[in-house]
Amino acid sequence: MDLNELRRIPLLRALRDEQLEILQGNAQIRDYKKNKRIFEPGCKDNFIMIVLEGKVRIYLAYPDGKEFTIAFLEPGDIYSSHSKTFAEAREAAQILAISAKAFHLFMLNNPTILIGMVKALGDSLGNTLRIIENLAFLDIDKRLARFLLDAAKEKGVIKEEGTFINLGLSVEDIALAVGSSRQTASMLLNRWERDGVIKRNRKTVFLLDEPRLQELGERTE
């Protein structure tokens, strides 16, 4: 990977050539097929992962079979294998793996990158807390409605027909994100589509009636 490709990564964009060269010397590009596990709790390979291509799911798993999705990472997102979580490629993915020891040393010598790291960690923590709150206090229909509303705030594009969201997620992925079965998530999405609240096309969604979706996502005491 050359320096121009590294500079396309938002976290590394402000670094000078000599700084990027140091990272380049400690980085390795890894490719993973769909559904391939990237790391798991207790793995000896301690590294910092930056997603280059594809989509990576970060989640917790328990002995009773329950799974708790923390995030879906997209190109430019960063995460650590030393986090007691699982990571798997939800589609063919390519990552940049940097030795955690080398990356920590690099941050100490190049504090510029700390700003981006703090923001990335803050976003991850905020997302995790929001997911925990939703799972603890909301029924599945409200969790799904809020998931779509949050996605609209993050990546929605206002168009004449409504708010367009390129989710890039299958129904199965959406179900994993909201802690539901695929069947239940599909049933709710189909119902809302029949009711004119949303319109779907593969991995994209139009929010046709956002006020109605907000009502569906409101918590009832």
Instruction: Judge whether residue 221 has pLDDT over 60.
Output: no
pLDDT digits (tens, 9 = 90+) for 21-36: 888 888 899 999 999 9
139-216 has the same fold as 3-135: no
Tell me the pLDDT band of 219, cut-offs 50, 70 and 90: low
The residues spanned by each domain of the chain are 3-135, 139-216
Sheet holding 163-166, edge to edge: 157-158, 163-166, 204-207, 198-201
CATH of 3-135, one of 1.10.3720.10, 3.70.10.10, 3.60.60.10, 2.60.120.10: 2.60.120.10
107 vs 17, 31, 113, 118, CA distance in Å? 15, 25, 6, 12
pTM, full prediction: 0.77
CATH entry 3.40.35.10 includes domain 139-216: no
pLDDT digits (tens, 9 = 90+) for 67-91: 888 889 989 888 988 888 899 999 9
Asked whether the beta carbons of 199 and 208 are under 8 A apart, the reply is yes
The residue-averaged pLDDT of 93-120 equals 83
Tell me the pLDDT band of 183, cut-offs 50, 70 and 90: very high
The mean pLDDT of the chain is 87
- Residue 31: CA atoms inside 13 Å, Cβ hemisphere, count? 2
The pLDDT value given to residue 212: 95
Lowest mean pLDDT among 35-44, 67-76, 101-110, 126-135: 126-135
* Residue 130, C-beta contacts closer than 8 angstroms, at least 6 positions apart: 150
The pLDDT value given to residue 220: 57
Instruction: For Cα atoms 60, 62, 103, give the angle at the middle one, nearest 5 degrees.
Output: 35
Nearest one of 98, 121, 131 to 6, comparing CA atoms: 98
Alpha helices in the chain (DSSP H): 3-7, 17-25, 100-109, 112-137, 140-155, 171-178, 182-194, 210-216
The pair phi, psi for residue 184, each rounded to 5°, is: -65, -45
DSSP 81: S
DSSP, collapsed to helix, strand or coil, labels residue 69 as: strand
